[in-house]
Amino acid sequence: MRQYNPSQRILVTGGAGFLGSHLCERLIARGHDVLCVDNFFTGTKQNVAHLLGNPHFELMRHDVTFPLFVEVDQIYNLACPASPVHYQHDPVQTTKTSVHGAINMLGLAKRLGAKIFQASTSEVYGDPSVHPQPEAYWGHVNPIGLRSCYDEGKRCAETLFFDYHRQHQLQIKVARIFNTYGPRMHPNDGRVVSNFIVQALKGEDITIYGDGQQTRSFCYVSDLIDGILRLMATGADFTGPVNLGNPDEFTMRQLAELVIQITGSRSQLVFRPLPADDPRQRRPDIRLATDRLGWSPSVALRDGLQLTVAYFDRLLACASITPDEAHSG
């Protein structure tokens, strides 16, 4: 017999962002009432415009570095710029978003007795000396580099979550999210998938940093959201952190060549110096997610890229709308 699952009131911070908007959709489809909170620094109203008329959806402009007073049953904390271009734009604010945002959302969860999810990141592993990266690996992070505002901010947020769990018996769930891609990525966020696709569709040279042999693993957004929901549904005995990502590993050159093939572009590859502290390899060990969540990604890179290319193709095809204007909110 199917278990009865009553509707819940759910807060999603960063809900108008790439991942947050997909999460809001899935939660509403499950019959929940969703309060989407975003300050629209990287998130956009366009990402959730199709939900605005839904009676189960509410949108609020708010910055999580300030306290929020609402009544909800669950909290998903996704608020934080996640691409180097955006999180390095105002590094102090990035750290504040991770740390003060976590404090404010944990305080809210404590007051309400609500279960709370933290969107952590594979960046907590830094430039790893262990490959692939298991959850037990403590990382290799530069605490004073250009990426530190994000890397160390997320590490501190994890510390806060586990201290609230130990000190206040708060129900927490922490996921370390690896590279994720799909529709609604910002076209100018500096991430490799969006960069390569936009450059290929415009017929521009595709920029590869380094020699192109550094590796990443790419998880399609629908797979990632499924993993998040499975984690949130686990019992109080399982907190994480748990890696969520696709364990298939590709070099930057392989990704660029696949994008060129899918788009039919005549773009050429050009190589530039590798940015400081850029990891040489990144691949999740997902055995814990498979064992405890019954989760593993199912969308192959080629299939996911085809869907993502179609999204960017439609975006760029709007003759009177530039990518910046389309995402200006």
Q: Nearest CA to 81 among 92, 94, 65?
A: 94
How much of the chain is in helix, strand and coil states, percent to nearest 5?
Answer: 40, 20, 40
Q: Is 150 a catalytic residue?
A: yes
Kindly list the distances between the CA atom of residue 329 and the CA atoms of 48, 166, 186, 221, 312, in Å, as whole numbers in the listed order: 10, 40, 12, 21, 17
Structure tokens at 129: 């000396």
For 258-294, b/e burial (b = at least 16 CB within 10 A) is ebbebbebebeeeeeeeeebebebbbbbbebbeeebe
Residues 6+ away with beta carbon under 8 Å from 215: 249, 250, 251, 252, 280, 281, 282, 283
Contact 194, 186 (CB under 8 A): yes
Contact 75, 20 (CB under 8 A): no
Report the alpha-carbon distance of residue 68 to residue 103 in Å, rounded.
Answer: 11
Q: Nearest CA to 250 among 213, 224, 287?
A: 213
Residues 6+ away with beta carbon under 8 Å from 177: 19, 119, 120, 121, 122, 224, 244, 245
Catalytic annotation, pick one of 125, 150, 164, 220: 150
Estimate the crossing angle of helix 91-112 against helix 148-168, to 10 degrees.
Answer: 20
The residues that are catalytic are: 150
